[in-house]
Amino acid sequence: MTVEGKLVLAGAPIGQAGDVSPRLREVLEKADVVAAEDTRRLRRLANELGVEIGGRVVSYYDANEAGRAAELVEILKQGQTVVVITDAGMPGVSDPGYRLTHLAVEEGITVTALPGPSAVTTALAVSGLASDRFCFEGFPPRKPGERGRRLAALAAEERTMVFFEAPHRLQSSLEAMAEAFGQERRAAVCRELTKTYEEVRRGGLGELAAWAAAGVKGEITVVVAGHVMADTEPDIESLVAEVDRRVAGGEQRKAAVADVAKEAGLPKRELYDAVHRRSSTP
């Protein structure tokens, strides 16, 4: 059964208020309820746009998302229109919105989106990296071990990858990416997109990690080139043998694995696992 209410996921500007569409102005004026990630920021945006919010404004953020989603579904079931708007970008994309959308769909409520600016596609467009195929990976895990494992699993990903990151974790994340993907893997750090101090820094991951050591501020989106497959698959056995030869010559195994993997265009973790299996075989 279809319910008469309507859920509208409204894309908010990521920097410039002038990027909003006329439709956003309209839905903010006409919606019965506006659920905002930050009600103060919503009212500032409305003031900048010269818009008078016609309906009730409620908070809808990470800490209250689960409980508030159920309340909003009940409002939708009464035939009302609910607009969800986050601080920037599209609700549900690393922002509150998924739980409410899921519940609304299960209840047969109409769900639509009012598209708007997106840090993901904006960063991808200005990165200078391939944009025909890409994947969005959100925020890397905060804990180093978990982050390393997540990135290692992406080492052979051929699509361009887009990440969000907090400025105080940018250096450590770029270092972890350089460890997993290679120091020379091309990337772009996009800071404060569409804002007054917009900056796009392009280069190898190792170079970008060194640059970030001085400290970076603002909203950050990182775009990383995908893994380029070699014309022929490297012979793992010969690469393991080369690592063994270097270790026998006095080189540290970790350094030998890193160098040989880089020269062969192979994810370091893959070669390390092969070396480990060889050394564990009786």
State what percent of residues in the chain have pLDDT above 90.
70
The pair of structure tokens assigned to 127 is 């990165």
pLDDT at position 94, please? 81
Q: Cα 176–181–182 angle (5° rounding)?
A: 95
Between residues 269 and 11, which one has the greater pLDDT? 11
Average pLDDT (178-195) is 95
pLDDT, one tens digit per residue, over 64-107 is: 988 999 999 999 999 999 999 999 999 988 888 999 999 999 99
Among residues 235, 220, 227, which one has the least CA distance to residue 153? 227
pLDDT at position 21, please? 86
User: Rounded to whole angstroms, how far apart are CA atoms 200 and 1?
Assistant: 48
22-30 and 39-49 helices, crossing angle to 10°:
120
What average pLDDT is seen over the chain? 91
pLDDT at position 245, please? 87
pTM: 0.76
Kindly give, in sequence order, each residue whose CB lies less than 8 Å from that of residue 158, ignoring residues fewer than 6 positions away: 133, 226, 227, 228, 229
3-class secondary-structure state, position 199:
strand
pLDDT, one tens digit per residue, over 207-258 is: 999 999 999 999 999 999 999 865 556 678 888 888 888 888 888 888 888 8
| Region class of 229: left (phi > 0), else alpha (psi between -120 and 50), else beta | beta
Beta strands in the chain (DSSP E): 3-10, 33-36, 56-59, 81-85, 109-114, 134-138, 160-165, 186-191, 199-204, 220-224
pLDDT, one tens digit per residue, over 113-152 is: 998 889 999 999 999 999 999 999 999 999 999 999 999 9
Average pLDDT (21-33) is 93
Using an 8 Å Cβ cutoff, are 137 and 162 in contact?
yes
Using an 8 Å Cβ cutoff, are 134 and 161 in contact?
yes
pLDDT at position 270, please? 84
State what percent of residues in the chain have pLDDT above 70.
95
Average pLDDT (6-33) is 92
